[in-house]
């Protein structure tokens, strides 16, 4: 099995924290991403970990947010870049820290023409709990039947199909520009995501410390 992370050049140095090995031979043409991967141990739990790769079209889906609003991924095409955050659920304190970090810098994401959609296997009640407890104002989608999680290839079979910590950046054409899934628990925070969006828009991203 492989764990992939596909980043713009500005984010390469952050892969050390994610446990991903980068070869200095890897490079990218201006405006293109860098694809990096590292082998991880074989185990049944990883059999379904096949995150949608960079350069592929993001699978379309229709869902309702925790508040009941209907959204469709393809409706953002031509309008917004997307940050899709797959998290384990409301029980996960580390996931909550990631979502809160993104919320704290949501204005910076929107300055990069990006909308955030957070997805977990929670039911609506628990998704609403996350929204309320952490003051989340971006879209939070309960995926209790795990259909979206499965389509993006990040289901953790050993934990009944809940999502591995994963994150995708999708451009306005609907193409995946960052594909990240971690089996070691590392979650991408704003300082690791915004530089990727900056490469798409050409707009400068703020410099942030990891724990801001």
Q: How far apart are CA 6 and CA 8, in angstroms?
A: 7
pLDDT of amino acid 210: 58
Per residue in 81-139, pLDDT (tens digit) is 999 999 999 999 999 999 999 999 999 999 999 999 999 999 999 999 999 999 999 99
Task: For the beta carbon of residue 8, count every other beta carbon within 10 angstroms.
Answer: 20
* Residue ranges covered by each domain of the chain: 2-201
Q: How far apart are CA 108 and CA 201, in angstroms?
A: 12
SS3 206: coil
Domain 2-201: give its CATH superfamily: Glutaredoxin (3.40.30.10)
pLDDT of residue 183: 86
Residues 6+ apart with CB under 8 A from 204: 198
* 42 burial type by CB count under 10 A (0-12 exposed, 13-18 middle, 19+ buried): exposed
Which residue from 180, 130, 113 is spatially nearest to 152, judged by alpha carbons? Answer: 180
Q: Is the dihedral of CA 177, 181, 34, 10 positive or negative?
A: positive
95 is catalytic: yes
What is the chain's length? Answer: 212
Q: How far apart are CA 65 and CA 60, in angstroms?
A: 15
Identify the CA nearest to 131 among candidates 207, 59, 65, 191.
65
Which among 101, 133, 138, 97 has a CA at the least distance from the CA of 119?
138
Would you say the pTM of this structure is higher than 0.85?
no
Q: What rounded mean pLDDT belongs to the chain? A: 81
Catalytic position from the list 6, 22, 92, 95: 95
| pLDDT tens digit sequence for 7-66 | 443 333 333 233 332 222 222 333 333 333 333 333 444 455 899 999 999 999 999 999
């Amino acid at each position: 099995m492989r764990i992939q992370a596909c980043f713009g050049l500005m984010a390469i140095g952050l892969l050390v924290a994610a446990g991903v090995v980068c070869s200095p031979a890897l490079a990218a043409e201006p405006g293109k991403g860098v694809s990096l991967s590292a082998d991880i141990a074989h185990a049944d739990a990883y059999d379904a970990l096949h995150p949608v790769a960079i350069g592929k079209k993001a699978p379309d889906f229709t869902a309702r947010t925790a508040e009941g609003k209907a959204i469709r991924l393809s409706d953002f095409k031509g309008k917004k870049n997307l940050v899709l955050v797959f998290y384990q659920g409301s029980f996960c304190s580390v996931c909550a820290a990631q979502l809160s970090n993104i919320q704290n810098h949501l204005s910076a994401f929107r300055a990069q023409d990006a909308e955030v959609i957070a997805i977990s296997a929670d039911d609506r009640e628990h998704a609403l709990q996350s929204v309320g407890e952490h003051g989340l104002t971006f879209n939070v989608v309960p995926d209790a039947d795990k259909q979206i999680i499965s389509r993006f290839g990040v289901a953790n079979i050993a934990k009944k199909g809940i999502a591995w910590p994963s994150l995708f950046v999708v451009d306005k054409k609907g193409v995946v520009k960052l594909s990240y899934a971690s089996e070691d628990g590392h979650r991408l925070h704003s300082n690791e995501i915004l530089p990727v969006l900056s490469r798409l828009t050409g707009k400068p991203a703020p410099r942030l410390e990891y724990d801001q």
